[in-house]
Amino acid sequence: MTGTRRTLIRLLVAFIFIGTTAAFSQDSANTLERVRTLPLAPGEAWSRAINLVKASPAVVNTIDQRSLLLSFSMQLSEGDVRKYLLEGPEVERQPHMVHITIWVSAAGEGSRVFVRAAPGAAGFFSHSNGMIEREIFAAIMKGSAWRTAAAGAKPRRLAHPPSHAWRAIVDTLTSADRLVVNAADEQAGVAAFSLAIPSSAFSKYSPAATKTYYPGAASLSLWIRADGDSTVAETRVLLHYLGSLSPAALPSSGKLEEDLLAAVDQRARGETAEFSPGSDYKGNREFFTVLFRDPPLTAAEIERDAFRQELPVPQESAWTAVLRVLTQTSVIKKCDQAAGLLWIVAAHPSEAKARFSVHELALRLSPSQFGTTLSIAAPDAVDPPRELETERKVIAEKIGMELFLKERLKWLLTKREGSL
């Protein structure tokens, strides 16, 4: 067989494979439902949502008590990928994570609960078939867990009351350099942070980290609750290689968790303690680095080069519009309504050299003489200037639609004679 014929046959086989895959991959038995009104008070629905995340093998990305919004990430197993993803059969062998946002708001006497699951691997996003959302609604309604952490993740006891332990946790994390604190919420009892780990030390934290040329990344959530005069601490950790194209979650040796709790315990006893396992390694700009590793832009950084839009409405209304638009299509990195700040991870095809752009995009709402100023910035984006301008303008337009469209639809909302 000549080389040309062999190539021809290979091409043919590849085309047949692609063709048949495409033919069978466009069905879903599930309808997608992201919003459900539940007969629960918002406080109750929120509390159940927090408990659901606490029980799951997930790390918290952000938690905002004022907006009643939280987002978290977790690894999906091969079976999960098959069950929960539209593209399940095609990508089940690819390590996947899922990033989930839950947002609770008042709806009459009940709650409007919004859930969005955004699954993805390192190089691409896949799509939820709606089952994750449905299972989470059901779990919140029942007040039960959705997924439970592995049996090995045992709670540990700190011999200090929760308020004391909490101060020690905050001290430990704020004094540790080279880590990014993603969430610290005393009311929910959770602190979450991310860090990069030097390649030489990564195997200490994960026995499966055998590729010594890759640095590692860790995201850890520490949950605490009162138990008499002492505090029970539970940890959830997500370890993976930085820079790998398939960052599968690696098992933890338990050392990172032990080091953290030892430092917290020492600080709670009034001793000095170091917790600095991180490195300064930034890694390439890919989804996981932007989500976990890049410190969120500050208000000053946002304002330095922002796209601005005046919105003649109170800040509270503008905030709701911002969340309604962005929670549906974006992975939420951090949310802080008190400061009027929302950070998302934007990932899209681009005219940039790499043909794809992943970057943090931050929105800020601030009071103005007309109502509210919306500022949108993405200073680290590699997008060409015009593309970035369009990206920010489109977001502002959608927020504007959310706020002002109804005023333009009198013809629809005022019933005419003989109309429905």
Partner 1 sequence: MSKKIIAGLTLLIALSACGAAASEGSVAPNSGDVRRGNHWDALLRDGTPLYEDADVVARVSQVGQKVAASSGNPHHFEFRFFVLNSVEPTAFAAAGGYIYVTTGLLRALDNEDELAAILAHEIGHVNERHPMKTGMSQQARTFWTTMLALGSMAAAMYVQTTVASALAPYMTMENAEALQKLSELTYMVSNIGTTAVGQRVIISFYQGYRDEFEFKADELALQYAGKAGYRRDALAQVFERIGSHQGDISPLAVSHLHSPKKVLDSRKALVQRAVAASGRPR
19 binds partner 1 (CB under 8 A): yes
Q: Which of residues 170-229 bind partner 1 (CB under 8 A)?
A: none
Of 157, 81, 146, the C-alpha closest to 120 is 81
Q: Which is nearer to partner 1, 28 or 244 (CB)?
A: 28
Q: Which is nearer to partner 1, 90 or 259 (CB)?
A: 90
* Residues in Cβ contact with 237 at an 8 Å cutoff, skipping those fewer than 6 apart: 59, 218, 219, 220, 221, 252, 256, 257
65 binds partner 1 (CB under 8 A): no
27 binds partner 1 (CB under 8 A): yes
240 binds partner 1 (CB under 8 A): no
16 binds partner 1 (CB under 8 A): yes
31 binds partner 1 (CB under 8 A): yes
> What character string, x for contact with partner 1 (CB under 8 A) and - otherwise, covers 383-412?
-----------x--xx--xx--xx-xx-xx
DSSP 8-state code for residue 380: T
Q: Which of residues 75-94 bind partner 1 (CB under 8 A)?
A: 86
Do 264 and 172 touch, CB atoms closer than 8 A?
yes
Taking the complex as a whole, the smallest distance from the CB of residue 402 to partner 1 amounts, in Å, to: 6
Number of Cα atoms under 13 Å in the Cβ half of residue 8:
5
8 binds partner 1 (CB under 8 A): yes
> What character string, x for contact with partner 1 (CB under 8 A) and - otherwise, covers 305-324?
-------------------x
Number of Cα atoms under 13 Å in the Cβ half of residue 393:
6
Do 174 and 184 touch, CB atoms closer than 8 A?
no
Task: Give first-to-last CA distance, the chain, whole Å.
Answer: 72
Binding residues for partner 1, how many (CB under 8 A)?
Answer: 49
**Can you tell me whether residue 358 is helix, strand or coil?**
strand
Taking the complex as a whole, the smallest distance from the CB of residue 297 to partner 1 amounts, in Å, to: 23
418: alpha, beta or left? (left if phi > 0; alpha if psi -120 to 50): left
13 binds partner 1 (CB under 8 A): yes
The correct pick among 3, 4, 187, 300 for binding partner 1 (CB under 8 A) is 4
Choose the binding region for partner 1 from 4-12, 43-51, 168-176, 370-378 (rule: CB under 8 A).
Answer: 4-12
Q: Which is nearer to partner 1, 264 or 342 (CB)?
A: 342
DSSP 8-state code for residue 378: -
Cβ atoms within 10 Å of 389's Cβ, excluding its own: 12
Separation between Cα atoms, residue 139 and residue 53, nearest integer Å: 11
Choose the binding region for partner 1 from 16-24, 134-142, 156-164, 371-379 (rule: CB under 8 A).
Answer: 16-24
DSSP 247-308: ---B---SHHHHHHHHHHHHHHTT--------B-----S-HHIIIIISPPPPHHHHHHT-EE
Residue with tokens 């977001």, as numbered in its chain: 395
Taking the complex as a whole, the smallest distance from the CB of residue 105 to partner 1 amounts, in Å, to: 11
The correct pick among 34, 36, 54, 96 for binding partner 1 (CB under 8 A) is 34
Enclosing H/E stretch for 232: strand 230-241
Taking the complex as a whole, the smallest distance from the CB of residue 357 to partner 1 amounts, in Å, to: 15
Do 82 and 92 touch, CB atoms closer than 8 A?
yes
Q: Which is nearer to partner 1, 228 or 418 (CB)?
A: 418
The correct pick among 218, 325, 362, 376 for binding partner 1 (CB under 8 A) is 325
The correct pick among 55, 59, 81, 118 for binding partner 1 (CB under 8 A) is 118
Taking the complex as a whole, the smallest distance from the CB of residue 399 to partner 1 amounts, in Å, to: 9
The correct pick among 328, 370, 389, 390 for binding partner 1 (CB under 8 A) is 328
The correct pick among 62, 71, 98, 130 for binding partner 1 (CB under 8 A) is 130
143 binds partner 1 (CB under 8 A): no
Taking the complex as a whole, the smallest distance from the CB of residue 19 to partner 1 amounts, in Å, to: 5
> What is the biggest distance separating any 2 CA atoms in the chain, rounded to whole angstroms?
80
Rg of the chain in Å (alpha carbons): 23
Separation between Cα atoms, residue 15 and residue 6, nearest integer Å: 14
Laid out side by side, the sheet with 190-197 consists of 156-158, 230-241, 216-227, 190-197, 180-185
The correct pick among 200, 212, 329, 390 for binding partner 1 (CB under 8 A) is 329
Q: Which residues pair with 388 in a beta bridge?
A: none
Which residues in this chain contact partner 1 in the complex, by CB under 8 A? Answer: 4, 8-9, 11-13, 15-16, 19-20, 22-23, 26-32, 34-35, 86, 118, 125, 127-130, 324-326, 328-329, 394, 397-398, 401-402, 405-406, 408-409, 411-413, 416, 418-420
